[in-house]
Every structure is written in C-alpha cells, then in structure tokens.
Structure 1
Amino acid sequence: MAVSKVLVVGGGITGSVLALALARRGVDVELAEISPRWFGVGHGITLQGNALKALRAVGVLDRVLAHAVPFDLLRLRDADGSLIVELPTPRTGGDDLPATAGALRSDLQDTLCEAVRAAGVRVRLGLSVSALDQSADQVTVAFTDGTTGRYDLVAGADGLRSHVRGLIGITAEPRPVGMSIFRVVADRPAEMDCAEVYYGGPRYKAGYSPISTGQCYAYLLDENLDASLVGPRAPLPLLRERGAGYGGTWGRILASLPDDTAVDYRWIEAVLLESPWYRGRVIVIGDAAHACPPLIAQGAAMCAEDAVVLAEHVTAEVPVETALKDFMARRMPRVRTVLENSLRLAEWEIRPETPGADPAGIMSETLAFLQAAA
C-alpha cells in the first residue's frame, strides 16, 4: 500500500468517514479532534443518495437509516403553501438506495463516532496539530499537547476554517456568498413525508425535511444580517419576524416553536481550493478544500465521497505522489461542478431577475450529473 499509518485531523463527518475507510483497508489510523468531547451535535442534515452510498462503503448505512427518514420526492410550493410542482429526486447513489434521507446530524455523528472507535482507530481528543515537518517518506507532526508522531500521510479534515490548510501554505479562505440561513429542529407535522421548499415569500426561500419519526429540520434563507447574530442561539423572535409571510406547513411549524427553541444562524460561506489540495504528504479534504452553499444538499455527500475515494487511492500499490494525483484527477471535476452550480443557484436565489435563471433546472442537472460513480 502507498501508506500504512495515517493521521486524520478532525473528527466530523469527513474525518470520521476517512478514518473508517482507511481502517477497513488495513491502515493504522490515528484521529485528532480538537474538542475535548466527541459526540454528535447540530441540527438536521439532508443526505442525498451518493452520501448514503459512501456511508454504506464504510459499513454504517444501516445504523444511520435506522434513525433517518428516507424519501424520494421534493415539492415546491408558493409562499402560501399551495403546490407548484412535485419532483422525483434522482437516485444519485444507485437504484438500490433511497434518493434522499433526512437525519439528525447528531444521530449521524454519534453513529460515526461509535464505528470509528469500534474499528480500532486511536482517537485523541482535546488537541490539534501545531507543526508539520515533512521528509521524502514521512511527516513528523507536533501536537498542541507537546507530543509528536510520525505518519506516512496526514489528512486535514478540519473544516471550513482548516488549520492544516494554513500549515501547508494554502492561503485561500472562505468568503460569504451573500445569504444566510436560520435552522431549527421542530416537531414533525403528520403530513410531512418529504422535503418541501417555499418560494415567492419575503425572503429567499423557506423549507423543511423530515429527520426522524417525530422531528423535522426547518430552515429560512435570508440576506446576511448582523454578524453578531451568528451562532447556535440566535433569537427566536427574530426568526419569527423574518419568517412571517410563509404559510402552509412551514408557517405552522414556525408558529409552534417553543420559546426555548435553539435557533442556529449562519452566514453561508464558500471555498474551493485549486488543484492540488496537498503539499507533499499532507492533504486537506472535505470542507477544508471545498465548501458550497447548501442549496443542492450535497455538502455531506461531497465530504463523504472525498473520504472514501482518498482511502481507495492511498491504499493502492502506487507511490503516495501518484495516489494523490490520481485522487485529484478523480475528485476535482465532480467537486467543481457541484460547487460552481451551487454558487450559481445562490446567485439566482439572491437575484431571481437574472436572465436565464433556472433554479429547478440547475438542481436537476446537477443531481443527474452526480448519478455517475464518484
């Protein structure tokens, strides 16, 4: 194999899937997570079929689906809740997998954490990487707790504001797209059986997905409000104010939220590193290399695919440099298409009067493109 010992930096979806994919191929894996506690947190998440395919490749799909809600439709509605159109969702993971599944992000992460530990990965919490020293055949890593280690490969899966990215001299930084998102987890109305999106209201759009038997994930896409609001505890009255004007099920969800509802508010940011995403034997993947607006619901899928594909290439009987070049050749066109189409869709959401704007068309085009194998 190209590598036998790998350090994964970051224990989110990308890092966890990578650790599992490598361990299943016989690699000695160490995972460093900066948080002193490692467990699932967060709101809802939409997993398209190609994300489910990646989760199946690392042996956790059945456990994820046991808590999730599969569906294969997307309904578009007017702001008052009246139906515009019902669209079948392409099965980007293959005909034997659901087109989409809604899940609690915390359920997904908890499942991944348990699987990583069970796979024999050495998990180190409460620390990160402070320095990297590369030779032709090894990377010596200095950790923030004063320890060191030597590895055949270091993979930075440490997110949008990746520290590893900076350590290897890549200076690209995420930039605001021009829209923001409110997210909540709420009680799931009985009539909710798939994802639905509301257009034509006072904001860019609103929507929801079922994520468990009794819960749903609801969101509102808005302009960028004051940056001081960004965080996991935005004011619920502000969401009620900004979401006023949407009816139907979405309006009922908003009205039913308890006063202590946790409202997550974020500016949406994007980044795409030009190829290659590595320097020597250190590579960044997932959101550290590419992060896109969540408008096509491909963020988790692109990250999980990165992990599975990287594990495949670096365990081949080729030199590390060849493995990483082959990885980039395989991933870059797919990732670029998703990110550029997501940014174009965001632009059309912000400026719907743009000549030729076709949000439904670009979503369908992108998902059809993704039906090809990763």
Structure 2
Amino acid sequence: MPVQKVLVVGGGITGSVLSLALARRGVRVDLVEISPQWFGVGHGITVQGNALKALRSVGVLDRVLARAVPFDSMRLRRADGSLLTELPTPRTGGPDLPATAGALRADLQDALCDAVRAHGVRVRLGLSVARLGPPGGDRAEVTFTDGSTGTYDLVVGADGINSRMRELIGIAERPRPVGMSIFRVVAKRPPGMDCAEVYYGGPRFKAGYSPVSPDACYAYLLDENLDASLIGPRAPLALLRERGAGYGGMWGAILDALPEDTAVDYRWIEAVLVDGPWHRGRTLVIGDAAHACPPLIAQGAAMCTEDAVLLADLVCGEEPVERALESFMARRLPRVRMVLENSLRLADWEIHPGTPGADPARIMSETLASLVEAA
C-alpha cells in the first residue's frame, strides 16, 4: 500500500522537494525544521540540469528560472585570467532544459517554501525529532523535541550533512574533512559574466564564480583548511583578500570591488557516504544526510533533489514500502557513490598538484555525461 502520512525532518532543499513531491501525490506530509525561521538564506548555488528536472517535476522551475541565470558551458582559466579552454556542459536534465543555472540560494529556497505551504504541507518550525520508537512494523513512532508525539507510515531525515536523524536510526558514518576549505561571497555581477569560470594554477587550490541573478554573482576560493575558529558566515574580508591575492582577470576585479561590509562565508569542506542501506524499518535518511561531496562537480543539489523525487515516486507506487526502499537504494547508491568518488578524486588532485594522470576536465565531463541517463 502506498504511504499516506509521512514526516520529513529538515526544511532545506532536499526536505522541501520531497515534501512537495509527496504532497502533489496526495500524501499527508508533516515537515519539521529546527530553525524557528524558514526562508531562503545563504550564498549562490549551481543547479545542474538534472536538478532543474527535479524542480520542474515539483512545479517550481519557472519561478526559479525567472531569477536564475542559465548557461551551457564553463570556462577554465589560468590564475592571471587568460583562457585555458571552454567546455560544453552536458544537459543532464534533458535537451529541453539548460545544462546549468546559477541561482541565489535565497531565491531557490523561497520558491520551495512558498510551494510547500501552498500544497498543504503542515510545517512546524523550531522543532525536530528527539526520539524514535523501535524499528519494525508498518508504522514509525516519533517523539518531538517539544514532547509531542506522532505516528507515520514513513519518517525521512533530510537534515543535512550533520544529520541528527542519521544517528537516531543507528547509522555510524560521520562526515570527515576533505582537506580543503571554501570562502564564498555574493557580489555584484560584472558585465560580460555569462557562465561559470574556474581559475587554476594560482596560490590556492582554485578560484571561481558563477552568475546567479541578473545583478549578482557567486564567487569562491578553495583553500587549505585554516583555523577552525574562522568557520562561519562572517569570516574577515581582509583574510579573503589576502588569500585571494594572485588571481587576476574578472575574479581579481570582483575581489577588489567587494564592499567592506561583504558577508564572507568560510567552511571546511567535508564529505560523507552511507555506503549501505539508508533505512532502518520505516525510517531513512536522504540527501546530504546520506551522501555529501566536495562541490567540485556542482552535483550536490542535483543528487539531493534526485533522491527526493525518486523516493516519492517509489513509496507512492504499487510496491510495499519495504520493497520500495530497497528499490530506491539499488538505484541511488551506485549513482551517488560515483559522483562522490569522482569529486573526492578531483579534491585530491587539487590538494596534490602534479599527480600523474590528473585530468580534471575529463573527470568532470565524464561524470556529467554519465548523469544524462535518468536517475
């Protein structure tokens, strides 16, 4: 019997897409989000074609593309800004969708939040799961952090790389540092920026940017892991200027033009893969809670949204829920493992320059080409 009542834990991109995909199929959905406020925040995001396909399936693509910037190629540059090559990007969402779109996370999340509420999902903020009942049977028992309880056909943890749900259902894997970090800013979009560009060969691992709206761009710098006390949304702009010195071209111009009150987000990059079943009885984790990779192929949002749409398809189908979850794992694990392993390989090549046989352009192109096949 298809599921009729589902709890989604986490109101980010993954949880929102899953809630929409289920609600559009007539499922009663409760969504709990630990934050007391629920709206779009953060920097820019690169949304590949397979993620755009998922967004179209839950009815929010037109609103997202109204503000986003679509493009079908990326350019690789030397640190001084001179061109190395331009690579066409495979249309992983199909020929009728852009290969890629740059978007503000705020624009994407706001579109999802509005759609979730419009489809009758019961949203409860400032709340998460404290305890789960014992696995087994055809229902999942939940105790929330406010002491209230609930019973569901399925409970899905979509609560990110530092997932509490992963721990609650007894999965031992934890995120680990990759060995690189990232500075991120949203800046004024310069004239002439029409696609993502990446700068190699400079003093850090690499720098890059992408247009994310008609007037904004997302710029980043990949660096070694600096002091952990810097981690957060307000790293010093002076530090970014210091670490980013040595890159020219448009990236250098963006850095030089940043206002002194620019919000600089700094994070160590971590990875995790639950390399086995993501479910225990009627509970499971998906998205970054089950697999999170370095952002070197820009497939993070795509892998998460693919999870959400496929899970909704399967648990609302004719198979018993337990078998639907097995089918879900059989289809998802090989695909996300491939993306994660290739992303980690790219990170290793960045950390260890001069590695024999290193060919980032080939790995990126081959990975995206393999994702043209439907999830």
Same-fold call, TM cutoff 0.5: yes
Instruction: Show the counterpart of 1:74.
Output: 74
Instruction: Show the counterpart of 1:368.
Output: 369
State the SS of the aligned residue for 1:296: coil
- Displacement, 1:297? 0.2
- Displacement, 1:2? 2.6
- Displacement, 1:215? 0.4
Instruction: Show the counterpart of 2:314.
Output: 313
Is the Cα–Cα contact under 8 Å of residues 2 and 323 in structure 1 kept in the other structure?
Answer: no
Instruction: Show the counterpart of 1:122.
Output: 122
Is the Cα–Cα contact under 8 Å of residues 287 and 303 in structure 1 kept in the other structure?
Answer: yes
- Deviations, residues 307-346 of structure 1 (Å, cap 9, x unaligned): 0000001001121110100000011111010000000010
Residues 135 and 333 from structure 1, CA distance in 2 versus in 1: closer, same or farther, beyond 3 angstroms?
Answer: closer
RMSD, aligned CA = 0.6
State the SS of the aligned residue for 1:368: helix
Q: What does residue range 275-290 of structure 1 map to in structure 2 within 5 Å?
A: 275-290=276-291
Is the Cα–Cα contact under 8 Å of residues 21 and 58 in structure 1 kept in the other structure?
Answer: yes
Runs of 4+ in structure 1 deviating by more than 2 angstroms, as ranges, are none
Q: Report the Cα distance in structure 2 between the residues aligned to 1:76 and 1:311, rounded to whole angstroms.
A: 38
1:248 aligned partner, one-letter code: G
Is the Cα–Cα contact under 8 Å of residues 156 and 285 in structure 1 kept in the other structure?
Answer: yes
Q: Report the Cα distance in structure 1 between the residues aligned to 2:14 and 2:30, rounded to whole angstroms.
A: 14
Instruction: Show the counterpart of 1:83.
Output: 83
Q: What does residue range 51-66 of structure 1 map to in structure 2 within 5 Å?
A: 51-66=51-66
Q: What does residue range 198-213 of structure 1 map to in structure 2 within 5 Å?
A: 198-213=199-214
Q: Report the Cα distance in structure 1 between the residues aligned to 2:185 and 2:138, rounded to whole angstroms.
A: 47
Q: Report the Cα distance in structure 1 between the residues aligned to 2:269 and 2:360, rounded to whole angstroms.
A: 18
- Displacement, 1:182? 0.2
Is the Cα–Cα contact under 8 Å of residues 11 and 158 in structure 1 kept in the other structure?
Answer: yes
Q: Report the Cα distance in structure 2 between the residues aligned to 1:343 and 1:86, rounded to whole angstroms.
A: 23
Q: Does 1:163 align with 2:164?
A: yes
Instruction: Show the counterpart of 2:113.
Output: 113
2:333 aligned partner, one-letter code: M
Instruction: Show the counterpart of 2:41.
Output: 41
- Equivalent residues, number: 374
Q: Report the Cα distance in structure 1 between the residues aligned to 2:101 and 2:352, rounded to whole angstroms.
A: 30
Q: Report the Cα distance in structure 2 between the residues aligned to 1:239 and 1:230, rounded to whole angstroms.
A: 13
Instruction: Show the counterpart of 1:15.
Output: 15
Instruction: Show the counterpart of 1:192.
Output: 193
- Displacement, 1:299? 0.2
Instruction: Show the counterpart of 1:258.
Output: 259
Q: Report the Cα distance in structure 2 between the residues aligned to 1:27 and 1:287, rounded to whole angstroms.
A: 23
Q: Report the Cα distance in structure 2 between the residues aligned to 1:164 and 1:244, rounded to whole angstroms.
A: 41
Q: Report the Cα distance in structure 2 between the residues aligned to 1:239 and 1:370, rounded to whole angstroms.
A: 34
State the SS of the aligned residue for 2:329: helix
Is the Cα–Cα contact under 8 Å of residues 179 and 222 in structure 1 kept in the other structure?
Answer: yes
Q: Does 1:3 align with 2:3?
A: yes
2:56 aligned partner, one-letter code: R
- Deviations, residues 188-237 of structure 1 (Å, cap 9, x unaligned): 00010100000110000000000011100000000000000000000000
- Displacement, 1:355? 1.2
Is the Cα–Cα contact under 8 Å of residues 139 and 151 in structure 1 kept in the other structure?
Answer: yes
- Deviations, residues 260-315 of structure 1 (Å, cap 9, x unaligned): 00000000000000120000000000000000000000000000000000000100
Q: Report the Cα distance in structure 1 between the residues aligned to 2:242 and 2:6, rounded to whole angstroms.
A: 49
Unaligned 5+ runs, structure 1: none
Q: Report the Cα distance in structure 2 between the residues aligned to 1:352 and 1:19, rounded to whole angstroms.
A: 43
- Deviations, residues 98-154 of structure 1 (Å, cap 9, x unaligned): 000000001100000000000000000001000111440111100001110100000
Q: Report the Cα distance in structure 2 between the residues aligned to 1:193 and 1:352, rounded to whole angstroms.
A: 29
Is the Cα–Cα contact under 8 Å of residues 3 and 152 in structure 1 kept in the other structure?
Answer: yes
Q: Report the Cα distance in structure 1 between the residues aligned to 2:87 and 2:343, rounded to whole angstroms.
A: 19
Q: Report the Cα distance in structure 2 between the residues aligned to 1:135 and 1:282, rounded to whole angstroms.
A: 10
Is the Cα–Cα contact under 8 Å of residues 291 and 339 in structure 1 kept in the other structure?
Answer: yes
Q: Report the Cα distance in structure 2 between the residues aligned to 1:320 and 1:48, rounded to whole angstroms.
A: 30
Unaligned 5+ runs, structure 2: none
Q: Report the Cα distance in structure 1 between the residues aligned to 2:351 and 2:334, rounded to whole angstroms.
A: 26
- Deviations, residues 3-27 of structure 1 (Å, cap 9, x unaligned): 1100000000000000000011111
State the SS of the aligned residue for 1:66: helix
- Displacement, 1:353? 1.3
Q: What does residue range 343-362 of structure 1 map to in structure 2 within 5 Å?
A: 343-362=344-363
Q: Report the Cα distance in structure 2 between the residues aligned to 1:159 and 1:151, rounded to whole angstroms.
A: 21
Q: Report the Cα distance in structure 2 between the residues aligned to 1:148 and 1:267, rounded to whole angstroms.
A: 36
